[in-house]
Amino acid sequence: MRSFLQTMASQAFPLAMAAVAGVFLARGLQPEGRGVYATVTTTAGIATVVGHLSVGRSQTALWPVLDRHRTLVGNAMVLGLVLGAAAGAATFCVVTVMGLPVAPQLMVMALLAVPFGVAALNLKGVLLLQSRVGLANRATVLSAVVLYVPILLLAVTGTLTLTAVVACWAVSTILPFALYVRPLGLPARGEAALARRQLALSGRYHLGAVAFHLLLTVDVLLLNVWVTPAEVGLYTVATSFLSLSRVPTDALAQVVVARQAVRDEAEARAVTARTVRLNLMLGSAVVCSLACVSPLLIPTLYGAAFSGSLTPLLALAPGTVAWSLLRPVEQYLVRLGRPMTMTAVAVCALAANVALNTVLIPLWGAAGAALASTLSYGAMAAVEVGWFARVAGLGAGDLLPRAADVRWVAASLRGRGRAARDPVSARGSA
């Protein structure tokens, strides 16, 4: 519980700063500029995911059975930098061919940070497997400070520009890598044979991982095709506002990954079942709260020009709850060694999302994109949670929040978490 609260605080801090800075960004750049910024960072984010090549999945899969953890650390850095550089170069070529309405210098600036972002993802995965959550949390907080404090200062002084904002984003992406180097004793000796083994394993997961990320971000790119940058800006404000709901659910998923990677299968199943129940409870509570206050807060904070964000926000709310279940379930499903099945689920969800967006965006714009996302997120969550339940021998009641879960959280928050009764049922622990 201590790690959970610290992790939640480290994620809440950047999101709180993002919310404040987002107000200044929206007012300073207006919907069109906000949409261009979202396009640049979304494109660089996709390049990071592509370049990652799901090496983190191979680290999780090999950690319980491999004694050469130090070699994994060395490979995490080298593979991240090399693959990230290749992904950044390829992405710039694709963007040039597509002719996205973005200044080339902005795209280059963002893509130069991609290799370091990929390496940082790999190294953060190692830290979580080592249960060194504190270092990962500090990097998250410092990265947010580097990104948002300059934006606020520029906005206050009236010198806020798109170039300055993208530059801040690039520096904040590079910073975690720099912070991880010394504590992890880098550079460390890698091993080519292990790297080949990792790539062979992670490559089978990677198409699914890319599809998983695109499922969350492709709507922004598709909106650029059919609507104006201003409407893209409205949509990104809605998604940014709802992203606050991921603070507790992502924090919990991050904290439990080390316990899901243990050798004891029964413990991994029990931890995953409890996390699904708690994430469903926490995600639903926070999303409902945000939906209730959004009609007042969004126009007040961002300005009347962003009132159009309310409809897509409400359409996306149910899908946001469903999304909160995917990360903890997938962290367990990696143990099953079924990469192609996981890939097929993600690719089918992405295909459904693109098909729905193709129909709904021309009809309803940003609201159509939000509805398409809710339907595809919900379908993917249903399939993967159902898969986990079948493998673990659980029924629906084992994955729905109970009074015992509420009591356990309350007792833990009062400092009696160790004495609290584990709410996982005997059936869920089997």
Residue 192 CA to its chain's centroid (Å): 29
Task: Look at residue 426 in the predicted model and tell me its pLDDT.
Answer: 34
SS3 category, 314: helix
Extract the residue ranges of the chain whose pLDDT is less than 70. Answer: 1, 3, 5, 8, 31, 66, 100-101, 263, 412-430
CA count, 13 A, side-chain hemisphere, 137: 22
Tell me the one-letter amino acid at 80.
Answer: G
The size of the chain, in residues, is: 430
Task: Look at residue 420 in the predicted model and tell me its pLDDT.
Answer: 42
Question: 218: which residues sit within 8 A by CB, 6+ positions away?
Answer: 350, 353, 354, 357
**Cβ(253)–Cβ(279) below 8 Å:** yes
Task: Look at residue 414 in the predicted model and tell me its pLDDT.
Answer: 66
CA neighbor of 53 nearest in space, from 254, 196, 266: 196
Task: Look at residue 430 in the predicted model and tell me its pLDDT.
Answer: 31
d(CA 375, CA 212) in angstroms, rounded, equals 14
d(CA 353, CA 366) in angstroms, rounded, equals 14
As a whole number of Å, the CA-based R_g of the chain is 21
d(CA 115, CA 89) in angstroms, rounded, equals 10
Task: Look at residue 413 in the predicted model and tell me its pLDDT.
Answer: 61
CA count, 13 A, side-chain hemisphere, 92: 17
148-153 LR contacts (CB < 8 Å, sep 24+): 148/14, 148/17, 148/18, 148/20, 148/21, 149/17, 151/21, 151/24, 151/25, 152/20, 152/21, 152/24
Sketch the domain layout of the chain as residue ranges.
1-202, 227-413
Task: Look at residue 22 in the predicted model and tell me its pLDDT.
Answer: 75
